[in-house]
Every structure is written in C-alpha cells, then in structure tokens.
Chain A
Amino acid sequence: MNVNCDDRDRIFEDGTPAEWVALEAHAENCANCAAQLRAWRSLSLAAAELRDYSDSPTLWPSIRRSLAAQMAERQRARWSWRSLLPGPSLSWQTVTAAAFVVLLLASAGWLLRPPAKSPLQSAGLLKNKALADVESAESAYVKAIDKLATEAKPQLENSETPLMANYREKLLLLDSAIDDIRAQTGQNPSNAHLRYALLAMYQEKQRTLEEIVEEKR
C-alpha cells in the first residue's frame, strides 16, 4: 500500500493498521511526516502523565456506608408503600393511585369469579354491568396516574441525567404498550385478560412515576 503526505491526517484520524504501517514506511523517507508521526505518538505517551491511580483508603468505606444507607432507606420506603399506609414520604397522589389499584383489583376479582348461572359465558369475559364498573374504576385510576405524571413532569423534562433519560424512554414504551392494549380492549371490551394486562401496564407506569417523584425528593 502506498501513502503520501496528503493521507497523513486521514490516517491519524481513522487509519487502518495497514495504513499505519504504510505511513511509517513513508515516514522513513519523509522528514516532515516522520516528525509529525513522532509528535502524534508523543501525545499519547504524554497522556500517561495524567494517570494517577493512587489508592484512596477512605473512599470505598465511605461509598459503602452511603450505599448501605440508601439501600435501607429505599427498603423502608418500599415497605411503607406496600403497607398502603400514608407515611410522611408518600404524596396524596400515590395514596390515591394505590386505592384505585385495590379497587380495580377487587372489581376484576369479583367479575372473574366462576359463572354460576351462565355456562355459555366464558370466564374470561365481562358482563355488561361489570364492564361498566371496570371501565369506571379504570378511568379513575388513569386520572390518578395523570396527576402523578403531572407531579413528575418537571423532573422528567428538566433533567438531562442518564437516569431521567431512561425513565423517559421507559414511559414512552409503557405509553405505547398501553395504547396497544387499549386498542385491543376497544375491539374486545369484555376480555378480562386484556383488562389484567392493561392493569399491569398502568401499575408499572405508576411505579415508574413514583420513582421519578422520589428522585426529586
């Protein structure tokens, strides 16, 4: 392979190993390229001067303490959420959303009990009145989640951290999945399995929003 002085910068930027070998061969007969090549490599060697991997004996113990404290704090917060008791760290939106989850689950459980008088009706299908109940509870639940989303919005929009970027991406995916399932329930509104799937998506969205709100604190 033949290279000349004009190829030098391109090879410096993104040369293949073969091109580097060719440039070295060219540099043996070109004083300018030899000097440039030497200087270019010297920068890489000079960068070694910026390496200082000396030990910091107090750093890990300090990090470990912080990690343990944060883990304990998160476990406490999670437990208090699961207990559904309004603790000082829970907002009213969270409590409301939790109440609607319970309501929705209760409605779905009642609706999915084994059919007594209607053997023709599939266990996976909802009756008209039950359907109205589920849709009403679902609507209220969605409103509660929307309130939570409003609270999380400033944090989501104003922060450029990778964590928030991940949350934004996750919420987009969840919203997309929710839209899909809602479209399916629109075609088959009595299908309880679809309702359960929708509920699971809403719960995940709620959990995600709660995490974002907690990040803000």
Chain B
Amino acid sequence: MGMMGLALGWETRILPVAQRERRVALFREQVAAVDPAANAARAEDLALATACQAGDLQAYERLYALHGARMKNLARNILGSSTDAEDAVQETFLKVQRSVGSFRGQSSFVTWTFRILVNTCYDARRSRLRKKEVAVNDEREDAAPRPEPRAASAHPSLRLALDRALTKLTRHQRDVFLLYEVEGFRHAEISEMLAITEAASKNTLFQAKKNLRHMLEPPRHSDAAGAR
C-alpha cells in the first residue's frame, strides 16, 4: 500500500489528545434539535437570505464574515491550492448573487451556498484537468490535485499523510469526510448540500473513515484489519 511509507503511528501520538477531548460531535444532531441556538441560527439564516435577495452588499459581507474562512478551507481541501480556493469562493459569491432570487428556502441559505461552492470547486477541477491535458489516469473525476504546502501545524506529517490519503478516496467520500469531520456540518446539512439522503451521508462517512484508516494505519496493524 502506497501510504505505508508514511505510516506515522499517529494513533498513539494523538492518543492523549483523544483522551482529553472526547468527541461530542456524535451527539450534534440530537443536541441541535432542542438547542435554542439552532432556532436563532435559522432566523439569522433566513434574514441573511432575505437581505441578499434585496441586493444588500452588507449581507454578503456578513455571509463572508460568518462562513468565508470555512468556505475557503473546504475549497482548498478539494482543490489543493489556496489561489484556486480563493477563486472558487469568489465565483461562488457571484453565483449566489445571480441566483439568490430563485432561492425558495428549501434548505438553509448557508447549506445552499456551500452546495454551490462544492459544485464550483468540481467545475474548476474539471476545467483545470481539461486545460492541463494530463494523463488518462489523472483525468478521472475523482482524481485529486497534489496538495500544496500549508501553514505549520501540530502534526505536519499527519496532515500530509491525511492530505494524500484523501486524494485516494472517491469524490463523495472525500466530500462527506471534509464536510463532516473538518468543517463540522451535520449529516442533515450534508445531505442537502450533496443531494443525498442522511443515511447515505452516514454510510459514505463510514466508508471514507474505514478507507482512511486502512491507508493510514501502520503496517503492524494490517494483520489486525480483518478483525474489523
């Protein structure tokens, strides 16, 4: 397996963090259902959509202030380049402005915006692939770009390994993993963004994590893989 050379023993390295920071995201869906903050967020979402429909540039600025960083991060993880990510975010805002009149509130305004962003990123990737006329293997829809170097982090080797492993996932697995685990969206939101069911989102995340584990775990663990 290609990733074995990058096996990091990361499981044990970040174990203390895992013990400190118990994962609470498992309960996000349940908590959101009764959280008054969720109601406030829905009201703000609606107000934002209405203001954007009215052509209020300050509303777009608010949208950017709230979600711009997350949009750019998602775009960078899909496109592998900060410059391309910024272009995709800008193009997304222009598309939102062009089509906000047809937004009817079927989903939240923010998830609708992220749906446009994801599509814009894949349009950009297809366009880039066409331009580059790369080898047949790299022209696959799922072929991901080579990740560019990024800012220093606590576990640079882990990030590099994860970056590379993500390129081996299918497009849907990568999208769901990035949206859920990295950007913190709920399955209900992801299902709206990717036009899939919540069950499909959960199953895709499961498959993505299973594959990532398989690619990232050290060789000594491969014997035990059958036990899963």
Contacts and interface: CB of A to CB of B under 8 A. Distances in A.
A53 B73 contact: yes
A119 interface: no
Contacts, number: 147
Contacts of A52: 73, 76, 150-151, 153
Nearest to A10: B206
Interface residues of A, number: 49
A50 B212 CA distance: 14
Given A46-B162, A52-B73, A163-B98, 9 more contacts: A9-B206, A9-B228, A50-B178, A51-B182, A52-B76, A67-B94, A160-B119, A162-B99, A166-B103
B145 interface: no
Given A13-B202, A49-B159, A63 B60 contact: yes
Interface of A is mostly: helix
A64 interface: yes
Interface stretch (B33-41, B42-50, B64-72, B129-137): B64-72
Contact of B206 (A12, A38, A70): A12
Contact of A13 (B89, B119, B203): B203
A67 B93 contact: yes
Contact of B11 (A14, A42, A70, A161): A42
A70 B98 contact: yes
B119 A42 contact: no
A20 interface: yes
Contacts of B182: 47-48, 50-51
Given A42-B10, A43-B212, A161-B119, A63 B150 contact: no
Sort chain B's interface into a size bin: 35 or more
Given A9-B228, A44-B25, A162-B115, A50 B86 contact: no
Given A50-B77, A162-B115, A63 B158 contact: no
A5 B188 CA distance: 28
A95 B161 CA distance: 58
Contacts of A66: 90, 93-94
Interface in A64-116: 64, 66-68, 70-71, 74
B57 interface: yes
Given A44-B181, A47-B182, A64 B57 contact: yes
A32 interface: yes
Contacts of B138: none
A39 B98 contact: no
A71 B158 contact: no
- 9 A-B pairs with least C-beta separation: A47-B181, A49-B159, A13-B206, A53-B69, A163-B99, A166-B102, A50-B182, A47-B182, A14-B202
